[in-house]
Amino acid sequence: MGFWTWFWVWVGLSVLALVVFGFIGKSLFNKLGAAGHQAQRLAQKAQVLADAMQNKPSLERPQDSILADPTAARARLIALQKSKVKKQQQRQRRLISSLKRFNPNESRFH
């Protein structure tokens, strides 16, 4: 192979390398543009949030419902405690009845 053959081979490889580098550069440019767009959207949202934090509305403390009617709240508490005790007693009765029916000769693992 002569000089001109190698010359054209290297010229072709150089052009191909430049084309590949161009595609890589274009891809990076597109990604940079997308990141810039997201940064712009984030800046807008951050500005809205900063404005909202500067203009905080004054909040009033809500009225306590327990202080309004303490007798109803106390009655509800007593009823809740009674229902808990009743559930515990029912569970205990179920456990005792299941233990009364226990058969040690019966097993799932035989």
Better pLDDT: 73 or 36: 36
pLDDT of the residue at 69: 76
**Mean per-residue pLDDT for 31-35?**
96
| Mean of the per-residue pLDDT values of the chain | 89
Dihedral sign for Cα atoms in the order 25, 27, 33, 35:
negative
Token code pair at residue 40: 């712009």
Per residue in 45-73, pLDDT tens?
A: 999 999 988 888 888 887 776 666 778 88
Confidence category of residue 89, pLDDT binned at 50, 70, 90: very high
pLDDT of the residue at 35: 96
